[in-house]
Structure 1
Amino acid sequence: MSLIQALNWRYATKRMNGEKVPPEKINTILEATRLSASSMGLQPYTILVIEDEELRQKIQKVANNQPQIVEASHLLVFAAWSNITEEQVTEYINHIAAERGVDPATLAGLKNALVGMVTRNTPEQNFQWAARQAYIAFGTAIAAAATEQVDATPMEGFNALALDELLNLKEKGLRSVTLLPLGYRDENNDWLAKQKKVRRTTDKLFLQVA
């Protein structure tokens, strides 16, 4: 299945059938998400992978009782760093140096650019930037799921403060941003399953600038 075919196949699944997604498919989706684009490569977010049914039942209560959360096989919680510190930047630079076998000093330009950005911003500004980076990975995960023919439902409709408390995210330096249940569509109970996919037409969406 090509990417275009996969994106035509996918939709925001409203009901799932509870079938488990094979580990190899989950791993492929997670690896694609790990490889997602991120500004300066920092990836200032963490993705919680939740399979436990009891925990997902608790999450459902703070997510407007959306059924996909408990009907899914897995739930991904995209959580951005609540702030970005110079220590986190240093850890990132050291990781690059170790992976590439270079002296961290050769990465001073990148480090200084990152440190300059995060230190001149407020913690809230840093969080908002981190959240936008998380959304890039979120989009990659949705596309990756489609190529694996795994259904996914992008969700913003939840009480972020309550979810953060439930998952102890504050203690981890994180704030929840989006949810992504992964599973398989229940075509008999999902009103959207057989509806035609509708998107803005090419001529309306794209503006060619000479």
Structure 2
Amino acid sequence: MPVFDTIKGALPMTHKTIQDALEWRYATKKYDATKKISDADWTTLRNSLTLAPSSYGVQPWKFLVIENPDVRKQLKPVSWNQTQVTDASHYVVFLYKEKMDADFVQKFINRVAEVRSAPLEALDGYKNMLVENLVKAQEEKIRVWSQRQTYIAMGFLLQTAALLKIDATPMEGFDPVAYDKILGLEGSGWKTVATVALGYRHQEDALQNQKKVRFTEDDLIQYIK
């Protein structure tokens, strides 16, 4: 039975479809620079980013899609010269909010009121809670929290790409300080934490033929009864 058969308009999605996608994906090392992601597929991929969950729903992240080839060339040397940076169809830089502030919280509250047609005064309690828990928290604690939240969005992007049979490479092998400088982020309150290359594997990428190595379920999953 399809997993999502009760969702109106959804494509049939079986348990095997999901399992096959998880088995199929790997961190692609060499991309075919001649193959590009279609507009329709990119729409679904970017929706996976904007619809990703976050604590409190505040979304302390931004995603830079680097389309300019010259900027990609600048990023490559500070990314250990990894070819994914320049050869992948799409290259997404994940930013986290370095510090939470009252203006950001208010922007979020305004969006909640807009989307849910709620009066702002009805959200005062929610707003005050966010200020107390996020704005008044220790800056280092918020930095770590924001980074962890951003990785949730990355996970959604990777899973969506796998289901679409689009290759993806999560990357931390780069100089984040150099990235922030090249991308003009210094003093913006946003910092680079990770990137994801997206596209289609090159036929010469030998890693695609290697077996996936994972610990057994007995090693990883424990049931507390």
Residue 48 (structure 2) pairs with residue 37 (structure 1): no
Counterparts of residues 105-124 of structure 1 (less than 5 Å): 105-124=121-140
Q: In the TM superposition, what whole-angstrom CA distance separates every residue of 1:44-76 from its partner, at most 9, and x where no partner exists?
A: 010001122111111111111111111101100
Question: Separation in 2 of the partners of 1:69 and 1:9?
Answer: 22
Please tell me the residue identity of whatever aligns with 1:15.
K
The structure 1 segments of at least 4 consecutive aligned residues displaced by more than 6 Å after TM superposition are: none
- Decide which of 97, 102, 106 is 1:90's aligned counterpart: 106
1:124, distance to aligned residue in structure 2 (A): 2.9
Q: In the TM superposition, what whole-angstrom CA distance separates every residue of 1:18-57 from its partner, at most 9, and x where no partner exists?
A: 1111121111111011111110110001000112211111
The SS at the match of 1:154 is strand
Identity of aligned residues (%): 38
Counterparts of residues 10-25 of structure 1 (less than 5 Å): 10-18=25-33, 19-25=35-41
Please tell me the residue identity of whatever aligns with 1:39.
S
Cα pair 1:75 1:182 within 8 Å, conserved = yes
Counterparts of residues 141-156 of structure 1 (less than 5 Å): 141-156=157-172
1:5, distance to aligned residue in structure 2 (A): 1.7
Residue 166 (structure 2) pairs with residue 166 (structure 1): no
Residue 168 (structure 2) pairs with residue 130 (structure 1): no
Query: Structure 2 length normalisation: TM-score?
Result: 0.89
Partner residue, 2:70: 54
Query: Structure 1 length normalisation: TM-score?
Result: 0.95
Residue 23 (structure 2) pairs with residue 8 (structure 1): yes
Cα pair 1:187 1:194 within 8 Å, conserved = no
Aligned positions, number: 209
Q: In the TM superposition, what whole-angstrom CA distance separates every residue of 1:147-185 from its partner, at most 9, and x where no partner exists?
A: 111101110111000100000112432100001011110
Greater shift, 136-145 or 116-125, is seen at 116-125
Question: Separation in 2 of the partners of 1:207 and 1:122?
Answer: 34
Partner residue, 1:199: 214
Q: In the TM superposition, what whole-angstrom CA distance separates every residue of 1:73-92 from its partner, at most 9, and x where no partner exists?
A: 11000000121101100110
Cα pair 1:16 1:72 within 8 Å, conserved = yes
